[in-house]
Chain A
Amino acid sequence: MNPGLLVSLLAAAQLLLALAMGFAFCRLLRGPHAQDRVLALDTLYVNAMLLILSFGIVWASREFFEVALVIGALGFVSTAAAAKFLLRGEVIE
C-alpha cells in the first residue's frame, strides 16, 4: 500500500505503452505495403486503449473506462473497414 511504489510502477507501464505507440507509429510511417500500415494502425489503437486505461488508474477516475471502450470500438470498425477496402476495393458492397 505504498503510494510511491504504485505511482512509479504505473509510470513505468505508461512509459512502456508510450514507447509501444511510438514503435507502431514508426511502422505506420515506414510500412512498405498498405497492409502493414493498417496493421500498425490497429496496434496503435490497442496501445492507446491500454494507455487510457492506465491513466484512469493513475487519476482514480471511472470516466476513462468509457473512453477506452469507445477507442476499442473505433479501432475495430476502422481496421475492419480498411481491411475490407484492401480486400475488395470497396467498403460496403
Chain B
Amino acid sequence: MTTVAAVLVLAGALLAFVGSLGLLRMKTFFERVHPPTMGSTLGTVLVLAGSLLYFTAVESRLVLHEILIAVFVTVTTPVTYLLLGRAALRREHESGGEEPPRSDEGQH
C-alpha cells in the first residue's frame, strides 16, 4: 500500500517536473502558460492521492484532509491563470509586441 502511494507521488512529481521544463523551454509567453498547469492539476492530485493513501495505511484509519488542498488548488488555478492571461494580453496589445497565437489560424 505504501509503495503504491510512493509511486503515485513519483508520478505527480514527474508531471510537475515536465511542466516546469516546458515553462523553461517554450518560446513565447502564450506557449509558456500551458505547461505548468500539468503540475498544478494532475500532478497535485497525484501527489495528494499518494499522501492520502500513505497516511490512511500508516495510521490505519481514513485520512481525508488532503482533499481540502485538492479542492482549493482546483478552484484557484483557473482564477489566477485567467487574470494573468488577461493581463498579458492587455500588456502585449499596449506594447504592440508579439501577437498571441490565434485559434482560427487557417481561416484567413
A→B interface (CB under 8 Å): 1-2, 5-6, 9-10, 12-14, 16-17, 19-21, 23-24, 26-27, 33-36, 38-40, 42-43, 46-47, 49-50, 53-54, 56-57, 60, 62, 65, 68-69, 72-73, 76, 79-80, 83-84, 86-87
Contacts and interface: CB of A to CB of B under 8 A. Distances in A.
Contacts of A24: 20, 23-24, 36
A12 to B, nearest CB: 6
Contacts, number: 164
B84 A46 contact: no
B18 to A, nearest CB: 8
A23 B3 contact: no
A17 B16 contact: yes
